[in-house]
Amino acid sequence: MTLARDSADAADIIGLRDRLAHWQESIGITQWRVGEVSAFVVERQVAAGEWYLMRHGTQLIATARVLTRDEHTWGPDLGAEGSAGYLHGLMVTRSAAGRGLGGRILEWFCELSASHRLPAARLDCVASNPRLRRYYLDQGFTERGITDFGESSGWAPVRRFERLLAAPTGLSTGRRRGV
């Protein structure tokens, strides 16, 4: 995974997200909506060094947004700076689906979080998405409750997941599969 650099990368991220949202809608998955994320927002996130990309040649095949705080989803205590690594926007293009790429990105994310001496790796998904919830459980994450943002927010309730991390030793990043 390499760090996204510019507005062209942001445009690729939005394009992948919209294609995946369209696919999700076509098979009845409620997770993302086409057009719900603006270029302005993603460009700001890219400029802040939050997005990582995986390309095959010039084609974006996977991406993820990594943060070291998420008070919006996890609250001020659990989501404070340095409390965990937080993953958002994990996306794998449909042409690369089924090859274990998502699992490898989750391992990379956990290793990255551990290398920054963060005690946990956290992520979330729409609470009504049983397919994605099962996937995260199968990847060694444990459910840690639901955040309901309220009807007026426009956000669906999300199910939170966490994997506790072993402290890195030496050059190793200390991988641990469960809690």
pLDDT in tens, 85-119: 999 999 999 998 889 999 999 999 999 999 999 99
3-state secondary structure 76-91: HHHCCCCCCEEEEEEE
DSSP designation for 141: -
How far apart are the C-alpha atoms of 27 and 23, rounded to whole Å?
A: 7
Question: With pLDDT > 90 as the criterion, what percentage of the chain qualifies?
Answer: 73
2-164 maps to which CATH number? 3.40.630.30
* Length of the chain (residues): 179
Query: What confidence score (pLDDT) does residue 168 get?
Result: 58
3 state SS of 6 = coil
For residue 5, the model assigns a pLDDT of: 94
> How far is 98 from 92, CA to CA, in rounded Å?
10
Which sequence spans correspond to the domains of the chain?
2-164
For the beta carbon of residue 10, count every other beta carbon within 10 angstroms: 23
